[in-house]
Structure 1
Amino acid sequence: MASKMFMGDMPELIENILKHLNNEISSLYSCALVNRHWCKMSIPILWQDPFSNKRSSLFIPIYFSSLGENEKFVIKECLKKWINVEFSKPLFDYARFLKVLHIFRIAKKVREWMCLKLNKPHLFYYDSRTTPLTTLIFKLFLESGVILHEFGLYNSEFLKFELEIFFHSLEKNVQFYSRIQHLSLDIISNFDFENIAKSLRVLAKNTTKISALRLVFYSKYAKLIHTLFPSLIHFIKSQEQLRTFILDGRDDCSTEFYGIISALNFQKNTLQELHYATVVLAQSSSTLEISYFRIDIPIIVQILEKIGILLKRLKVETETVIREGSLLLEALKSFCPNIIYLYIKDIVHFTQLVEIIGNLQKLQFLSLGYAYHIPKEERKIRVMQFAKILPSTLQYLDIALGIPNTLLDSFIDILLDHCNAPLKKLLISGGINNEKNIKALIRYCTRIRTLNYVGIVKYYDFLNYDISNELKKYVTLVPYKHIVINC
C-alpha cells in the first residue's frame, strides 16, 4: 500500500508541501522520521538555512564530520585544550544542501556552539579560536558544489580570512554564486574596498538574475565608499530581474547615493520595491511608507517626482516634527494625484495639508495626526475648513493619531456639522463623551446616513458614560483597534 502512495505525482506533491514548512523546523524534523522517502525530502529543506537565528548551533559538529582528515586534525588541535570533538560518519552530504548563507552568521554559530560546549554564557565578540573553524566550514561550502540562492557579505576585520577566501575564489567557483537571487552587502569598515569592487565586477558578469539587493553603508567611510560607486552602478545595471532594492545609508550619509538611485532607471520594468533607509516603496501595490527618526525630504521629493503618478498609498510617520514638510506636501500636490490611502502625522504646515487633501479626489482612507499650537481663535476655523474640503470619496477618517487633544479631536462637533464626506468609519480618541458631541454625531448620521462604526481609543473608559439608546440606533461604537486600517 505504501508503495502505491508514492507512484505517479505523489512524491512531488509531498515535497512541495514540505517546502512550505521551511520555517517550521520541529515539523520538518518530525516529517524526516516518518520513513525513508520523507527523510530524503525533509533533510535538504532542513539544511537550506541552518545558520538562521532561529536554529540551534548543535549542528556545527556535523559539518566538521564532513571534512577531510587533515581538516579534522586542525580542528582537534585548535580545540584540544577546551573541547573534545567526536567525528561521526554523516548520513548525507549536508553542506551541498545549503541555499542561504550570510558569512557573519557562520562565525556567530561557531561561537554559540563553543559557548554550549564550554558551558559559558558567552564568548568575546571576537575569539581567535573561532577563526580557523569558521574558515574550514566556509571552504567546505565552496568545495561541496553549493548553489546559493541568498548570500550576505558582512565586511568586517573579524572575517578577514573568510573574505579573502571568498574574494580569491569567485572566478573559480561560478556555480557557488551564479544563481543568487538575494544579495546583501554590508560595508561597515574600511577593510578591502578594492576586493569588494573586484568581486562586484565578477558578479556582474556571472550573476544577472538577482531579484533583491541590499546595500548598507556608514557615513564615516563615505570617501572610501565612493571608490565602490562605479562597480556598484555597473553591477546594478547588469541585473535583469531586480525587484527589490534596499539602500541603507546609516549616520545621515544619504546625499552620497544619488548616483546609485539613478542607476535604478535601468530596472524600471522590473523594480517593485525601493527601500531607502526605512523608506519603503512597493511599486506593485503603489505604496510608499516613510518611517524614520529623521527623513531626507529632498530624496523623498526626488522619488515622488519619478513614481508619484503610480502612488495610491502613502504613509509618513516620523519621531520628529517634519520641518521641511512644506517641500513634501508640495511634492504630493504636484506628483501624486491618485492617492487612495493617506496616513500622515507631525506635519507643521496644516493649511497646506488641508489644501493637498482637498485636491485628492480619489482619497478613501485618511489617517491624520496634528497636535501643534494654533491660536485659539483660529482653531475652530481651521477645523471647519478641514471638514468642508474632505473629498466625496472619503469613507474612513482616523483623527486619533496624535492623542491626546489633537486639533481635530478637540472639535468633533464642528468637524461633523460641516463634513459632507460619506464616512463609513470614524476613529477618535474618545471625544464624544459629552452631550454636545453626541448630538453632533446623531445629526451627522441623520444627514449623511453612511456612518456604520465609531472607533474609540479610550473605549473602556468611555463605557462609564451614560450613552442614550438614541445614539445606538445610528452607529456602533467599537474599540479603536478593531477597525483601524494600516497601510
Structure 2
Amino acid sequence: MDISSLLLTESEEQSVNLTSSWNFETTPETPQFPADIIYQILRNFQYCRSSLCKFLQINQTWCHISLIFLWNCPFSVSLKAKNSVLLIRTLLSFLSEQEKSELKLNLTCYESNISKNSTYNYLDYIRVFDLKHFRLSILHWISYLRNNNDDDFFSDSLIVELNKIYKDIPINYSTVNLASEIISNMLFRKCGNNGLQHLVIEYDDIITSNYVISKNIIYLNNDLPKLVNFDFHYKLEGNFDKNLLIDRIVEMFEIMTKSVKNLRWLEANIEHEEHRLPKIGKALVEFIEEQNNLEVLGINEFWMYEESEIYRRICKSQQKSLKHVRFYGMCNFKELIKGLSECKNLITLELLRISKYDSNIIPMNDELESKGLSIKNFYTCEVISFDAPEITNYFIQIINMSNKNLKTLTLTHVTPDIIKTLVKFCPNITHLSIYFTFYFDLIPDLLSVLLTSLPLEQFLLKIDNENSESTIYTQDYWNKIAKSIPDSVIHLGIDFKIEKNMLDMFLKECKAQLKKISLFQRYMLNRHYLQVVVQYAKKNNNLLKELGFLWDPKDFGFISHSNLEDAKKFIKIIGKVEPFNKPFYDIKLNIPHKKDHLLSSFLSCKKG
C-alpha cells in the first residue's frame, strides 16, 4: 500500500504510481525552483489535497515537500470513508509481524495480503494526530472488511455511509478498540520522536468512548518529546466506573509529565456532573508546572475551593510565557485574579460557563488594589440568566485592573455599575460585544454614556427582548441607541428583536459609515429585512460591502435567488454571519510553525 492509493480520487489513483523505481529526474519543462521556494509555494495548497497529489508527480523534491503537507494531519474531519480505509491499510504496512499476527488472531476478516513495504516512511511526516477521527477511520475500515471488501459499501452520500457504519458499531466495537490500540501505539512509537506536535483527544459518545483512556493514552510513555499542542476534551458519564476513569486520566498526565516539557498550547476540559475532580486537578497542575513555555491554557476548575494555591502555582510557573487563558466553570474569582496579576505578558482572559456563587464566598479586599492586569482582551462567552452581585463585583475588579490596556470586550453580564466602571477606566476599547438580560428600559441611556467616547470599530448589541414588555421598544428607544453608536464603527452586529420599519429608521439614524452588518436573529432571514439593508447601502453610496444572516440565505431558501442577485448589485457579499468577537487564538498554533525539519533533512541529504 502506498501514497498512490491514499487521499486521492479514483482517476488520480490510476495516474499516480510512486514506486521505488519511479524516475524522479526533472524534465526540461519542470521549473527549476529551490526547495525553499517550492515549500513556500505548496504552503498555499496545504488544504487542497487534489493539487498536492498532482505535485507528487513532478520530481523528487516536489514529491517530498507535497508529502510534508499531505501527511501533516492525515486523520481529518474532511476525510471520506473510502479514503480513510486506504489510509488505515497504508498504516498496516508499518506494523511489526507480531502486531500483524495479533490483529489476525482477533479480526477474522483481516486483510492478510497487506504486507508490502511503503516507498516512504509516511509516519515521519505526521505532525497532528486526532484520536477521534483516527478511531472513526478504524471503524470505516473494519465495516468495509465485514462487508467483504465491497466498494459499493461506500456510497456518494456521507450520510448514507455513516448510517451503514454506525449500524455495525455493536458488532465492531471491541475490534475497533483492539485495532486502535495496536495501530496507535505503533504510530506514537514511530512518529513521536520524529516530530508529532499536536495531539487531539476529543470525546465522542459513538466513536471515542471512555475506553480510550484505558489503552491508547496511558501507553504514551516517552513517545511525545516534541509535542507543543495538546487538546483534551472529555466527558465522564455515569455508565462507566468513574473512579477507574479518573485514575486513568491521572495516570495519563503523570506519564506525560515525564517527557512532555515544551507545550505551547494546552486545553484540558473534562465534563462531569460533580465538577470537582481534585485528583485530576492535582495531576494536571503538576503537568502544567513542568512546561517551559506555555502560551495558551484552557482548563476546568477541577480542584476544591479550599485549594486556593492552585492558581498561584499555575501562574507562577508560567508567569513569563502565559498569554491567553480560558477557564471553564469558574468559581474562585478572587484567587484567579490574584494569580493572573503575576502574569506580565497576559493578553487574553476568557471565562466560560460562569455559575452562581455560594453564599460563603469571601469578598474581595484591599490586597488587589495595587495590582494590575495586562490583558487586552476579556471575554465572557455565555449569558448569565440571573443578576448576581458577586459576579458583578468581580467583573468590575477585572475591568478596573485592566484599565487602559483593554481593547476587546465581550460581556454577557451587564449592569449599570459595570457600565460606569467601563466609562471611568477603559477608554481604548475598539471591539465591544455586550449582552443585556436585564435593565431593558435603561439600555438607551447606558449606551449613550458608554459608547460616544469610545474608538469602536466593531460593535455587537444583544438584547434578550423576545419575551420582555414590548411597549418600551418605541422608535425613539431605537433611535437613541442608533445615535449613540460612534462614527468609527465599521462592523455592526444586531441581535435583538426589532420590526423592519424600525430597523430602517435605526440604520438611518446611525451616523457610522458601516462596511459590514451582521443580523443574528433568525426571523430577519427574509426579503423584507434584506430590502431594508439594501436601501441603507444605496443611500450610503454602496459603502456597505458585506451582510451576514444567521444562516446562509442561498442554502435555506428563505430569500429567492432573484432577490439575492438584485441585492448583490449593492452589497458584494451576502452570507452566513461569523462568530462575533470570537477569540482570535481559536485559530490553533500553526503546525509546522516554521520550516519543517524534514525539509532541512532532505536538503542535507541532497547536498551530501
What's the TM-score once normalised by structure 1's chain length? Answer: 0.70
* Aligned match of 1:114: 142
Deviates more, 1:403-412 or 1:46-55: 403-412
Q: Retained in 1: the 8 A contact 2:198–2:230?
A: yes
- 1:38 matched to 2:91: no
* Aligned match of 1:355: 446
Following the alignment from structure 2 to structure 1, what is the Cα–Cα distance between the partners of residues 403 and 109?
A: 63
Q: Retained in 1: the 8 A contact 2:232–2:268?
A: yes
* Aligned match of 2:53: 29
* Aligned match of 2:264: 211
* Aligned match of 1:471: none
For the residue of structure 2 that corresponds to 1:228, the secondary structure is helix
| Change in 2 beyond 3 A, CA 1:198/1:433 | closer
User: Alignment partner for residue 368 of structure 1, among 437, 457, 461?
Assistant: 461
Larger Rg: 1
* Aligned match of 2:405: 310
Following the alignment from structure 1 to structure 2, what is the Cα–Cα distance between the partners of residues 262 and 328?
A: 17
| Change in 2 beyond 3 A, CA 1:8/1:221 | farther
Q: Deviations over 1:244-287 (max 9, x none)?
A: 3334689x9713575995697388345444544489xxx99944
User: Alignment partner for residue 404 of structure 1, among 484, 498, 501?
Assistant: 498
| Change in 2 beyond 3 A, CA 1:111/1:276 | farther
Alignment map for 1:227-242 (pairs within 5 Å): 227-242=279-294
* Aligned match of 2:105: 77
* Aligned match of 1:243: 295
Unpaired stretches in structure 1, ≥5 consecutive residues: 465-475
| Change in 2 beyond 3 A, CA 1:93/1:375 | closer
- 1:185 matched to 2:185: no
For the residue of structure 2 that corresponds to 1:255, the secondary structure is coil
Alignment map for 1:266-415 (pairs within 5 Å): 268-277=343-352, 286-288=376-378, 290-292=380-382, 298=391, 301=395, 304=399, 306-307=401-402, 309-315=404-410, 325=415, 329=419, 332-333=422-423, 335-350=425-440, 351=442, 354-360=445-451, 361-365=453-457, 366-370=459-463, 371=465, 373=468, 376=471, 379=474, 382=477, 386=481, 394-396=488-490, 398=492, 400-405=494-499, 409=503, 412=506
For the residue of structure 2 that corresponds to 1:21, the secondary structure is coil
Following the alignment from structure 2 to structure 1, what is the Cα–Cα distance between the partners of residues 129 and 197?
A: 8
User: Alignment partner for residue 151 of structure 1, among 182, 199, 207?
Assistant: 199
Q: Retained in 2: the 8 A contact 1:291–1:316?
A: yes
* Number of equivalences: 440
AA paired with 1:230?
A: K
Deviates more, 1:374-383 or 1:91-100: 374-383
* Aligned match of 1:18: 42
Q: Retained in 2: the 8 A contact 1:248–1:277?
A: no
Q: Retained in 2: the 8 A contact 1:102–1:151?
A: yes
Following the alignment from structure 1 to structure 2, what is the Cα–Cα distance between the partners of residues 136 and 76?
A: 12
CA RMSD of aligned residues (A): 4.9
AA paired with 1:231?
A: A
For the residue of structure 1 that corresponds to 2:230, the secondary structure is strand
AA paired with 1:402?
A: F
- Cα deviation, residue 479, structure 1: 8.9
* Aligned match of 1:473: none
Q: Deviations over 1:341-378 (max 9, x none)?
A: 33334443242563354234123344435447568589
| Change in 2 beyond 3 A, CA 1:269/1:61 | farther
* Aligned match of 1:472: none
What's the TM-score once normalised by structure 2's chain length? Answer: 0.58
AA paired with 1:359?
A: L
| Change in 2 beyond 3 A, CA 1:195/1:186 | same
For the residue of structure 2 that corresponds to 1:180, the secondary structure is coil
Following the alignment from structure 2 to structure 1, what is the Cα–Cα distance between the partners of residues 56 and 404?
A: 51
* Aligned match of 1:124: 169
Unpaired stretches in structure 2, ≥5 consecutive residues: 1-24, 148-152, 154-163, 204-208, 237-241, 303-326, 355-372, 550-558, 564-568, 582-608
For the residue of structure 2 that corresponds to 1:213, the secondary structure is strand
Following the alignment from structure 1 to structure 2, what is the Cα–Cα distance between the partners of residues 347 and 243?
A: 34
Deviates more, 1:126-135 or 1:367-376: 367-376
AA paired with 1:349?
A: Y
- 1:138 matched to 2:184: yes
Q: Deviations over 1:215-242 (max 9, x none)?
A: 212131423x222223323433444433
User: Alignment partner for residue 265 of structure 1, among 316, 329, 340?
Assistant: 340
Q: Retained in 1: the 8 A contact 2:374–2:402?
A: no
| Change in 2 beyond 3 A, CA 1:390/1:127 | closer
| Change in 2 beyond 3 A, CA 1:479/1:129 | closer
- Cα deviation, residue 96, structure 1: 2.9
Following the alignment from structure 1 to structure 2, what is the Cα–Cα distance between the partners of residues 81 and 270?
A: 56
AA paired with 1:124?
A: I
Following the alignment from structure 1 to structure 2, what is the Cα–Cα distance between the partners of residues 71 and 306?
A: 58
Identity of aligned residues (%): 15
Q: Deviations over 1:59-92 (max 9, x none)?
A: 1122211112222122222222575553222212
- 1:64 matched to 2:92: yes
* Aligned match of 2:603: none
Following the alignment from structure 1 to structure 2, what is the Cα–Cα distance between the partners of residues 132 and 167?
A: 15
* Aligned match of 1:89: 117
| Change in 2 beyond 3 A, CA 1:63/1:407 | same
- 1:222 matched to 2:297: no
- Cα deviation, residue 111, structure 1: 0.6
Following the alignment from structure 1 to structure 2, what is the Cα–Cα distance between the partners of residues 168 and 84?
A: 26
